[in-house]
C-alpha cells in the first residue's frame, strides 16, 4: 500500500484542509445532509478522501458525535473500498449517456446493507452534455436513499443546472504549512528521519497537493536520498543549476540577451521551467507584498506598477506551459515582451539588440502598409466579407472567451486570426502566420474551436483556415479601429513564434 493511501484522513478532524473540515462539520451537525454535493478544487487536495469520510459518517453503525467509529462493518468496508453501497465512478472513462442511464436505473434500487447509497463521481466535468442532462434529471428528483458527491478540478465546465442543484464545497491548493502538517503524520508513523526544514522543501515541491507531497517523500525514501534541506533542494529544484538572484537582476535591467541565454542553459542542465517559474513568481510575490507595506524581502530597481506587469506576463506564461510543444517558449515570449517595454519607454532600441530601420527599410514598411490596406479593402468590398450579424466583433470576443478556459494556447493563436467568411455552415478564418494556421488545423485544436462555435451559433459549424497578410506595426491601431484585429491581438507573440518556427 502506498503511503498516501495508508495515511489517508479517516475522519473530519484529520482532513488536511481545515476550512473544508469546518464546512462539513457544520453540515453534519445540522442533521440535514443534502442529497448532492460538489467538491471542487485542484488535484490532490483531499476531495475523494472527504467524500469517503462523508460516506462513513452517513452509514456508520456507531457514530461518535460527528465522526465515524472506524470499527463497524460499514466503516471498515468503505475504508477498504469494498462497500457495495458506496460506488465510485470515474467520469473520465464513463462519460457517455449510456453510463449515466445505467446509473439512473441503479439508483432506484435500495442499498444492499447500508443506510444510504453513496455515488462518488470523480472528474465530473468530463461528462458529455447529454450525460450531464441525464444526470441532472436524477439530481432533480433523487431517491431518498441516495447521496451524490461530484468531485471535479474544473467546476466551470459543469452545466449551470447541475451546479445549482448541489451543495458546493470549495477545495483549494494547500499552503506549505498545511502540506508539512500532512507530511508529519506520515513521517511520525513511518519513523522517517527528516527535519522541519526538509519537510518544507518537499511541501514546496508539492505544488499545493497533499497527495503529491506524500508521493515525493515516498520516492525520496525509496531512493535512499539524503533528506537534508540542501540536498533536497538540489534534487527537487536543481537550484545549483540556476541563480535566481542573478535572473531577477537581469529582469530589473531588462537585459533580454542575458535572460534568454540563462533560459537556454536550463534545458542542458535539466531544469524544470515550471519549477523555476514557480520559484521566480514566489520571489516576485514577496517583493510585491513588500512594496505594499507587508514585511517581506523587497527587490530594488523595479517599481510596483512594473512589478505587477512582470508578474502578469509570467503568470500567463505559466498557464500556457502545459500546452506548449516547447517548454521554455512561453517564458521566452514573456521575457521578450517584458524587455521590449524598455524600447517603448526610452523611445529607442538600445540594450535590446534591435536596430533602427534604415531608409530602405522604412520604404519597405510603407509598402507593407499599402499592401495590407489593399488586402483589407479587398476583403471589405468582396462578397466573401462577413455580412452575417451573428459573427460580429462582440460574438468573436465571446468565442475567444469561451475557448480560453478550455485551452489557453488555442485562444492565444486565435488572437492572431480573424473571421473572414461565414455561410452558416463553414467559418473561414484568416490566420496571419503559417505556424499558427498549422496548429489551429490540428484535429484536437480545431475540434475545440468547432465545438465552441457550434454551441454559440446552435448550428453545426466547420472551421477552415487560410493564410492572410499580417498587419504591419504602423497600422495596428488603425486596424483595430477597422475591426481587422481582435482586441488583445499581440503581434509580438506571433512574430516570435514565426521567427522560431519559420513563416
Confidence tier at 477 by pLDDT (50, 70, 90): very low
For helices 47-59 and 73-80, give the axis angle rounded to 10 degrees.
160
User: Residue 285: its pLDDT value, please?
Assistant: 92
Q: Regarding the domain delimited by 359-501, which CATH topology (the fold level of the hierarchy) does it fall under?
A: GMP Synthetase; Chain A, domain 3 (3.30.300)
| Range in 126-140, 173-187, 366-380, 402-416 with the lowest mean pLDDT | 366-380
Give 114's DSSP letter: S
Q: Evaluate the CA torsion angle 13, 17, 19, 24 in order and state its sign.
A: negative
User: Residue 420: its pLDDT value, please?
Assistant: 82
Give the alpha-carbon dihedral of 405, 407, 413, 414, to 10 degrees.
-50
Given a cut of 80, is residue 139 above it in pLDDT?
A: yes
User: Residue 461: its pLDDT value, please?
Assistant: 83
Mean pLDDT, residues 370-374 taken together: 47
Sheet with 426-431: list strands edge to edge: 417-422, 426-431, 462-467
Measured distance CA(266)–CA(17) in Å, rounded = 35
Given a cut of 60, is residue 377 above it in pLDDT?
A: no
> Among 159, 167, 166, 203, which Cα is nearest to 183's?
203
DSSP output for 185-218 = HHHHHHT----HHHHHHHHHHTTT-HHHHHHHHH
DSSP output for 5-69 = HHT---SGGG-S-HHHHHHHHHHHHHT---SEEEEE-STTSSHHHHHHHHHHHHH-SS-BTTB--
User: Residue 342: its pLDDT value, please?
Assistant: 59
Confidence tier at 404 by pLDDT (50, 70, 90): confident
Mean pLDDT, residues 130-152 taken together: 90
The DSSP H or E segment spanning 167 is strand 167-170
Beta bridge partners of 115: none
Domain spans, the chain: 3-170, 176-237, 242-346, 359-501
Q: Is 85 left (phi over 0), alpha (psi -120 to 50) or beta?
A: alpha
Given a cut of 90, is residue 77 above it in pLDDT?
A: yes
Measured distance CA(381)–CA(397) in Å, rounded = 23
User: Residue 451: its pLDDT value, please?
Assistant: 84
> Among 205, 170, 370, which Cα is nearest to 275's?
205
User: Residue 366: its pLDDT value, please?
Assistant: 53
Say if domain 242-346 classifies as CATH 1.10.3720.10: no
Given a cut of 90, is residue 191 above it in pLDDT?
A: yes
| Range in 64-78, 198-212, 469-483 with the lowest mean pLDDT | 469-483
Mean pLDDT, residues 212-221 taken together: 90
DSSP output for 398-430 = HHHHHHTTT-HHHHHHHTTEEEEEE-SSEEEEE
Give 502's DSSP letter: -
- Phi, psi angles (nearest 5°) of residue 292: -100, 10
Higher pLDDT, 453 or 199: 199
Task: Pull the grid cell for residue 426.
Answer: 463553414
Mean pLDDT, residues 172-197 taken together: 92
As a whole number, the mean pLDDT across the chain is: 81
417: Cα separation from own chain's centroid:
24
Task: Pull the grid cell for residue 500.
Answer: 522560431
Neighbour tally for 116: CB within 10 Å: 17
Residues in the chain: 503
Beta bridge partners of 119: 87, 148
pLDDT tens per residue, range 406-461: 888 888 888 888 888 777 788 888 888 777 887 888 877 888 888 888 878 777 88
pLDDT tens per residue, range 261-302: 888 887 767 777 887 888 899 889 999 999 998 888 899 889
> Among 78, 79, 100, 97, which Cα is nearest to 89's?
100
Percent of the chain with pLDDT over 90: 34
Domain range 176-237, CATH class: mainly alpha
User: Residue 416: its pLDDT value, please?
Assistant: 81
Given a cut of 60, is residue 33 above it in pLDDT?
A: yes
User: Residue 371: its pLDDT value, please?
Assistant: 46
User: Residue 456: its pLDDT value, please?
Assistant: 80
Percent of the chain with pLDDT over 70: 81
Q: Regarding the domain delimited by 3-170, which CATH topology (the fold level of the hierarchy) does it fall under?
A: Rossmann fold (3.40.50)
Measured distance CA(60)–CA(75) in Å, rounded = 6
Measured distance CA(328)–CA(337) in Å, rounded = 14
Given a cut of 60, is residue 500 above it in pLDDT?
A: no
Q: Residues 184, 19: contact at Cβ < 8 Å?
A: no
Given a cut of 50, is residue 503 above it in pLDDT?
A: no
pLDDT tens per residue, range 300-315: 889 999 999 999 999 9
> Among 49, 59, 40, which Cα is nearest to 16's?
49
User: Residue 367: its pLDDT value, please?
Assistant: 52
Most confident of 239-243, 332-336, 474-478: 332-336
pLDDT tens per residue, range 100-110: 888 888 888 99
pLDDT tens per residue, range 326-350: 888 889 999 999 998 755 555 544 4
Q: Residues 191, 225: contact at Cβ < 8 Å?
A: no
Amino acid at each position: 500500500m502506498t503511503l498516501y493511501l495508508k495515511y489517508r484522513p479517516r475522519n473530519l478532524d484529520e482532513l488536511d484542509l481545515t476550512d473544508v473540515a469546518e464546512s462539513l462539520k457544520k453540515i453534519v451537525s445540522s442533521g440535514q445532509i443534502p442529497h448532492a454535493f460538489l467538491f471542487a478544487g485542484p488535484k490532490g487536495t483531499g476531495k475523494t478522501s472527504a467524500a469517503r469520510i462523508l460516506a462513513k459518517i452517513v452509514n456508520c453503525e456507531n457514530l461518535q458525535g460527528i465522526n465515524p467509529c472506524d470499527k463497524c462493518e460499514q466503516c471498515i468496508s468503505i475504508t477498504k473500498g469494498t462497500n457495495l453501497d458506496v460506488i465510485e465512478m470515474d467520469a473520465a472513462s464513463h462519460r457517455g449517456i449510456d453510463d449515466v442511464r445505467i446509473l439512473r436505473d441503479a439508483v432506484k434500487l435500495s442499498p444492499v446493507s447500508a443506510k444510504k447509497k453513496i455515488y462518488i463521481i470523480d472528474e465530473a466535468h468530463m461528462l458529455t452534455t447529454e450525460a450531464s442532462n441525464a444526470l441532472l434529471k436524477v439530481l432533480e428528483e433523487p431517491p431518498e436513499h441516495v447521496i451524490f458527491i461530484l468531485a471535479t478540478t474544473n467546476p466551470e465546465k459543469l452545466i449551470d443546472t447541475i451546479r445549482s442543484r448541489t451543495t458546493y464545497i470549495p477545495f483549494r491548493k494547500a499552503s506549505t504549512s498545511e502540506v508539512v502538517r500532512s507530511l508529519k503524520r506520515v513521517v511520525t508513523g513511518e519513523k522517517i528521519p527528516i527535519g522541519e526544514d526538509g519537510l518544507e522543501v518537499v511541501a514546496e515541491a508539492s505544488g499545493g497537493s497533499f497527495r503529491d507531497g506524500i508521493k515525493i517523500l515516498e520516492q525520496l525514501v525509496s531512493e535512499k536520498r539524503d533528506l537534508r534541506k540542501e540536498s533536497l533542494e538540489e534534487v527537487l529544484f536543481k537550484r545549483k543549476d540556476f541563480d535566481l538572484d542573478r535572473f531577477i537582476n537581469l529582469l530589473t535591467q531588462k537585459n533580454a540577451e542575458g535572460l534568454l541565454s540563462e533560459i537556454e542553459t536550463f534545458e542542458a542542465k535539466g531544469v524544470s521551467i515550471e519549477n523555476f517559474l514557480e520559484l521566480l513568481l514566489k520571489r516576485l510575490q514577496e517583493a510585491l507584498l513588500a512594496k505594499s507595506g507587508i514585511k517581506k524581502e523587497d527587490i530594488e530597481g523595479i517599481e510596483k506598477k512594473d512589478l505587477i506587469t512582470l508578474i502578469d506576463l509570467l503568470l500567463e506564461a505559466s498557464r500556457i506551459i502545459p500546452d506548449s510543444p516547447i517548454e521554455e517558449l512561453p517564458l521566452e515570449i514573456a521575457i521578450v515582451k517584458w524587455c521590449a517595454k524598455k524600447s517603448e519607454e526610452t523611445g529607442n532600441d538600445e540594450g535590446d539588440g534591435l536596430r533602427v530601420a534604415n531608409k530602405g527599410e522604412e520604404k519597405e514598411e510603407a509598402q507593407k502598409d499599402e499592401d495590407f490596406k489593399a488586402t483589407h479593402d479587398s476583403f471589405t468590398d468582396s462578397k466573401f466579407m462577413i455580412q452575417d450579424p451573428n459573427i460580429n466583433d462582440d460574438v468573436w470576443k465571446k468565442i475567444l472567451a469561451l475557448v480560453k478556459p478550455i485551452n489557453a494556447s488555442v485562444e492565444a493563436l486565435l488572437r492572431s486570426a480573424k473571421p473572414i467568411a461565414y455561410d452558416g455552415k463553414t467559418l473561414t478564418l484568416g490566420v496571419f502566420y503559417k505556424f499558427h494556421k498549422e496548429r489551429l488545423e490540428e484535429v484536437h485544436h480545431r475540434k475545440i474551436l468547432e465545438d465552441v462555435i457550434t454551441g454559440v451559433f446552435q448550428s453545426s459549424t466547420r472551421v477552415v483556415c487560410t493564410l492572410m497578410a499580417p498587419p504591419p506595426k504602423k497600422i495596428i491601431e488603425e486596424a483595430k479601429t477597422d475591426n481587422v484585429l481582435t482586441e488583445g491581438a499581440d503581434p509580438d507573440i506571433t512574430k516570435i513564434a514565426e521567427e522560431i518556427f519559420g513563416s
